[in-house]
Structure 1
Amino acid sequence: MSGKKEYDSKKHEKEVEEMREVFDLFDKDSDGTITISELGVVLKSLKKNFNEQQLKEIIKKVDKNGDGQIDFEEFLKMMSNRVGTRNRDYELKEAFNVFDQDGDGYITASELSTVMKTLGEQIDKETIDLMIEGVDRDGDGEIDFNEFKMMMAEGPQ
């Protein structure tokens, strides 16, 4: 029995790490909270446009301490509720589709660069190419969904 508990604990730690990475993408100024403007930037990059009132409502639903921002604990609670009701493959496919902007089933260097710029990350072509190369198992210069899933399962290298 203890082996199962240890496995579950490690699985939980990995999930928390993954959620931290997602949180950090939202938290542009790295102050430990997601503000209305930071939420707006990320949602816009996901092709979701909300007005300020809608963004305030989103934050209000999650903001348990009433400070008008989302801290990591609040984010974790929100995501665990969401992940608990949805299939992981579905979540990964949604994330993949954000990067696969033309919907052809592959993430190209150009698509990766565009999304990273939208998220406020200025990454040069060499680094983008290295990122693709590090994940591209079949050597075709693009990332397919299976390669994306493996990358997400492995976590940061």
Structure 2
Amino acid sequence: MAATSRHEAELKKKALEEVKKTNDPIEKIRWQCLSRGAAGIRDLGRVFRNFDDSGDQQLDYREFCKGVRDIGLNLGKHDLEAAFKQIDRDKSGSINFDEFLIKIRGNTLNKKRTVLVEKAFNKLDQNGNGTIEIDDLKGVYDVTQDDRFKSGEMSEDELLREFLDKFDSPDNKDGTVTKEEFLSYYAGISASVDNDAYFDLMMRRAWRLDEPTRPKTGSFKPNIGYQSPEPNGYTLSLPSLGGGGGNNRRDFKIQGLKGLKPRTNAKGHVLTTPLPLS
């Protein structure tokens, strides 16, 4: 679920109104970020990470001010100092930018919504390395119904990269999305959705959170992106029941699918398997 134009417009309008209302410097930064769209908080995090040459995830006051201004936020010296002091509670002169981003996200993602976003991220991060990349999306995000894929205008990898770029920083598209970036992106979308139940519904529908992850099967490409686990331990990609009639069963044929054999009964007859409704 990426931000729609309607969500973006509603969020920007709300953010501009909130900036005028608040005197809290952290909230000013939050709403100024979101006045740029759902990706505003994520983009601020990207800028801060670029300053972390030492890799210690710490920012001093000078770097903090530069990061806020580089993203185009309009805060005066008094607000910048007050915001920095709120986070630098031990008065060490530096802040952890992950903690800062959590502070900036604030209550835009409550506990219930955070659980949903993390569940979506973990489903996408199939290799468990803490980032989402093109290969992670295969078998999870289906592009085969995209007209540009059907016409040959764009390949699967190109469409997956285009989708991934929605969550990536426009100024630093490296083809990977971290968990913090994913959470920060959805903090922006969440800020435009007042109802928890509606946010829950959007996340579950967008990422099919109640369905099992569809494992990839090498070079075999399902024509709908739905895979059904079979009792014999293999996972087989099955096409959708598009259009015509039929009784929702199809012969269990996988000729050409390397390394797998069809299930048979004691008499050697090939069994049939029910197809899920798409």
| TM-score, normalised with respect to structure 2 | 0.23
Please identify which structure carries the higher helix content.
1
Give the TM-score, by structure 1 length: 0.37
